[in-house]
Structure 1
Amino acid sequence: MPALGYAVTYPFGIVGIILAMVMVRAISRIDPAEEAKAFALEQDSGSEPVQRMCIRVRNPNMTGLRLHEIPSKDSLGIIISRIKYVGETEVGAANADTVLHEGDTVLAVGTLTNLHKLCLIMGTESTEDLMETPGPVTFDRFVVTRNEVLGKTIRELELTQRYGVTVTRVMRADVEMTAIPALRLQFGDKLQVVGKEADIAKVASVLGNSIKDMNRTNFMPMFVGIGLGVLLGLYPFSFANMPTPVRLGLAGGPLIVAIILSRMRRLGSMIWYMPLNANLALRELGITLFLACAGLKAGTHFFEVLFTSQGLLWMACGAIITLVPLLLAAWIGRAFMKMNFMNLCGLLSGSMTDPPALAFANAINNSDAPSVAYATVYPLTMLVRILVAQILVVFFTR
């Protein structure tokens, strides 16, 4: 019977979410392009992007200092990768032991706010671009795929001491960061390395830089995670005044374990990483199998019930249960919380754990903004649904 009710009400469950988005957009006269632009500006204001600045050394107190001795440089998260000595015409690679002289020009990498602070300490901003200045210095980007490197800090790799190169930036999950020495490396991190071409080539083997390893699907960690999730899902949690224990089930258990393991990133030789293509394929396969099983179980009596008074009642109840909470949440989000429309669409999709609705929301303005809100509320929604369903069964059968 639950599978039959699910099958009858599911179609409007998808259409209802999309209809709620369309209604909110029409009633509020929202321009999705402007909302997407506002979301991008909000994201940019939350964290400054990594930039570069050329600084001319004018402070005489800098003369004779090594780069690692510059006051506040490390605390500001600044990396200096290139230097042009006073009187020289070529630029050279800079590292922690490079000695400064008054009149030298250096290229620093960091956030704009911190770069200006360092500029006040060292001298003045230079109009000369050391990236364009000739010299035996180049840069390349490498991906961290070697197990021996994972969990180590950039300082512990000793790339400067061993190869004379400097790591300036780290790209992790589309977020660019300054390569501070204390940053611990994770699988899939992309490092930008500056130095001489021959020295940079040696770094590739240290980090791994294997596209094959990046795209390889390692099934052992996945099945270990699923197994742990199933065990957690079967564990009974007892609460006061509840005659029956509550379980997270085969959906909630693996979800909680996946969140924990993804935060850990690795356990011994096991790396909790899955390529995007494999992730999407397994996700679609799981949804397809779930819907197929629900359809097979409900198919025997589906058409018998669909157009009966009971079937129509179920459909009406499903429409009310879908639309009313969504429209209420959308009204509160826009009127009181001043939520961005693109975020709101992701929240509505995540509150119903509905991937088709998320795809529609992403296609409104070819924006990934809804995915952020969707991923935030999805785990909580899934757990609450599992627990509340069991609590309601216990409550109405007492």
Structure 2
Amino acid sequence: MIGELLKSQPEIALFVSLAIGYFIGSFRVGPIQLGGVCGTLIVALILGQTGARLAPDLKNIAFALFIFALGFTGGPQFFANIGRGWRYGLLSVIEIVSVLVLIMIAVSVMRLDIGTAAGLLAGAATESAVIGTASEAIGKLGLGDAETLRLQANIVTAYSVSYLFGLITIVLFTSQFAPLLLRINLRDEAERVWRKLGGSGAFGEGQRAAAPALVGRVFRVGAAAGVTVYALEQRHGFNLTVEQLQRNGADVPVDPQLPLAAGDLILVAGRREAVVAAAAGLGEEVDGAGFGQVFAEKLDVVLTRRDLHGRTIAQVRDQAKPEEGRGVYIAAVTRLESTVPALPGTELNRGDVLTLVGAKADVERGAKRLGYVLPATQKTDFVYLGLGVLVGMAIGHLGGQIGGVSIALGTGGGCLLSGLLFGWIRSRHPLVGSLPSAAAQILKDFGLATFIAAVGLSAGPDAIKLVREYGLALPLAGILMVLVPGLLSLWIGHVFLKLEAPMLLGAIAGQQCSTPAISALVGVTGNSTPVIGYTITYALSNILLPLMGPVVVGLAGKVG
């Protein structure tokens, strides 16, 4: 009876897969969490035994929206990291080349069909988007309907089997085994790097600093009498600002050339370490009940200046003229929806979202110098979105032969490239193409989950056959496809590229596109230094790996 209901109303099977799948995926065992996508796939494979099927058109639309949004949000960082972040980018190249070689070895040794080979890539690399691009590539081979469906079902089954083992392997490798191989205490090393970047304390993701990085304190001028406002601020590297001044009970306009007088009450704001260092030379600290809130304004600004790409926060402040940078502080750096520690030694990339804090006039002046203010809009530009997807579909028709191997991009590859281009254009011309981050996240989450549920339902009957055929070979292959690239990257990154261990391990998690791995790393290190390496390789691998779907299908067909 349930089977007949699901067959007659497959939309029920879709939302049951989403609801139960995300519920299963929310459970965590130590650092391991399946996630909603994998949970949805498992439930869909089970429900697929009933014969419930979703229309292919729904599957294609969902995947097109997901892959376009993926490219759109990653476009600015992808282009920003090409060339300049070459040391980390090299790790993504190692990932791509090594997994392709290992896949071809597995095809030859295990006699894998092209669907199973592509699913092994998607699962071991924990990159779900490969399922879509590889499925489309198989659909363009001109095979019979039954054979096409069988091979596409094998992608999903091989993915589901190898994903779990790949996920466990990358989490344990980055957070536990790699530090042992490097012979380091990862928490101590992360704290050392944090302080090297200019941090005065370590705190983990999800935690708030007991002593905030930006503070405002009120002093009664004593030892600093006779010193001008400009000289005081210059003495501390312009990391603090005299925001307000009262003399004999009356407010006095703050002018950089104004000398401080004994008994003046001054509100000093800025980086905590600078204010603490200045306190002894200022005078007695008072409660300052008569002063207003200094950090009254907060603006999110997209960094667009080419000359600031790759510069640290401290270098950006040093480069700015005092009258331009005065009173402007970077409180947070967001990169690819991850928060990067906003320390003096943190390097900035074009496309980063900088949260500026300070007085209203100061942050507005700083925003004009750095880039453009991120509009606080909830509206999506559907003209831009629709045009982008159409351009992607047109690009998807392109294809050809490379070395005798037929490669077709398909809608997935085309929409990914189109999303990259349209996202990059949006970052340069913010008045067009609004796609708020929350809307983009919905497109990615719902689009991918719907696509995964659709392919899982159609693959259900063939899943058991493939598992019986290969047994433990697929899980073992998935583990090797994580360990070999991980060990290569660890060796090259440590010995030749001289990358700091927390950033190196974060980059290895990023080259594997593994969010659970970076979460586990942040938990082990106690601060967010691994995120600095993670964002670069994640941006590159998240784009390059899906493009490998058609390549694996072409190569596996040739080798097999």
**Normalised TM-score (structure 1):** 0.61
CA 1:320–1:71: 2 relative to 1, 3 Å: closer
Amino acid of the structure 2 residue aligned with 1:92: D
Partner of 1:157: none
CA contact (8 A) 1:141 1:193 kept: yes
Partner of 2:258: 100
Matched, 1:58 2:213: no
CA 1:369–1:69: 2 relative to 1, 3 Å: closer
Pick aligned residue for 2:467 from 296, 301, 306? 306
Matched, 1:192 2:365: no
Paired with 1:92 and 1:332, the residues of 2 have a C-alpha distance of 60
Partner of 1:24: 178
Amino acid of the structure 1 residue aligned with 2:166: G
Paired with 1:29 and 1:329, the residues of 2 have a C-alpha distance of 16
CA 1:317–1:188: 2 relative to 1, 3 Å: closer
Identical-residue share of aligned pairs (%): 16
Matched, 1:385 2:545: yes
Paired with 2:359 and 2:233, the residues of 1 have a C-alpha distance of 24
Pick aligned residue for 2:511 from 334, 351, 368? 351
Matched, 1:253 2:417: yes
CA 1:330–1:69: 2 relative to 1, 3 Å: closer
Partner of 1:139: 294
CA contact (8 A) 2:486 2:508 kept: yes
Q: In the TM superposition, what whole-angstrom CA distance separates every residue of 1:268-313 from its partner, at most 9, and x where no partner exists?
A: 5x655425xx7766654455335434433432221111132x4544
Partner of 1:39: 193
Q: In the TM superposition, what whole-angstrom CA distance separates every residue of 1:180-232 from its partner, at most 9, and x where no partner exists?
A: xxxxxx9995643399xxxxxxxxxxxxxxxxx96x743x1488447526624
CA 1:333–1:70: 2 relative to 1, 3 Å: closer
Paired with 2:395 and 2:512, the residues of 1 have a C-alpha distance of 25
Q: What are the ranges of 5 or more consecutive residues in structure 2 without an aligned counterpart?
A: 1-114, 119-154, 201-212, 301-325, 334-338, 345-351, 362-374
Matched, 1:80 2:242: yes
CA 1:282–1:194: 2 relative to 1, 3 Å: closer
Q: In the TM superposition, what whole-angstrom CA distance separates every residue of 1:166-185 from its partner, at most 9, and x where no partner exists?
A: 9665645477799xxxxxxx
Question: Secondary structure of 2:437's match?
Answer: coil
Paired with 2:287 and 2:250, the residues of 1 have a C-alpha distance of 9
Question: Secondary structure of 2:283's match?
Answer: coil
Q: In the TM superposition, what whole-angstrom CA distance separates every residue of 1:293-347 from its partner, at most 9, and x where no partner exists?
A: 4433432221111132x45444433332222111221233344445444333322
Amino acid of the structure 1 residue aligned with 2:197: Q
Amino acid of the structure 2 residue aligned with 1:193: A
Paired with 1:9 and 1:217, the residues of 2 have a C-alpha distance of 38
Partner of 1:153: none
CA contact (8 A) 1:8 1:302 kept: no
Paired with 1:99 and 1:367, the residues of 2 have a C-alpha distance of 40
Pick aligned residue for 2:535 from 356, 361, 375? 375
Question: Secondary structure of 2:197's match?
Answer: helix
CA contact (8 A) 1:83 1:92 kept: yes
Amino acid of the structure 1 residue aligned with 2:296: R
Paired with 1:93 and 1:71, the residues of 2 have a C-alpha distance of 18
Paired with 1:70 and 1:338, the residues of 2 have a C-alpha distance of 39
Partner of 2:520: 360
Question: Secondary structure of 1:80's match?
Answer: strand
Quote the offset at 1:71 in angstroms: 11
Quote the offset at 1:14 in angstroms: 1.2
Q: In the TM superposition, what whole-angstrom CA distance separates every residue of 1:76-103 from its partner, at most 9, and x where no partner exists?
A: 5874312244xx2x3635345x873563
Once superposed, what is the RMSD of the aligned Cα atoms? Answer: 5.0
CA contact (8 A) 2:416 2:543 kept: yes
Paired with 2:231 and 2:440, the residues of 1 have a C-alpha distance of 46
CA 1:93–1:327: 2 relative to 1, 3 Å: farther
Paired with 2:532 and 2:299, the residues of 1 have a C-alpha distance of 25
Partner of 2:6: none
CA contact (8 A) 2:513 2:538 kept: yes
Quote the offset at 1:37 in angstroms: 1.5
Q: What are the ranges of 5 or more consecutive residues in structure 1 without an aligned counterpart?
A: 146-165, 179-185, 196-212
Paired with 2:422 and 2:459, the residues of 1 have a C-alpha distance of 30
Q: In the TM superposition, what whole-angstrom CA distance separates every residue of 1:14-37 from its partner, at most 9, and x where no partner exists?
A: 122124223223444543321331
CA contact (8 A) 2:233 2:242 kept: no
Question: Secondary structure of 1:82's match?
Answer: strand
Amino acid of the structure 2 residue aligned with 1:371: V
CA contact (8 A) 1:229 1:257 kept: no
CA contact (8 A) 1:144 1:187 kept: no
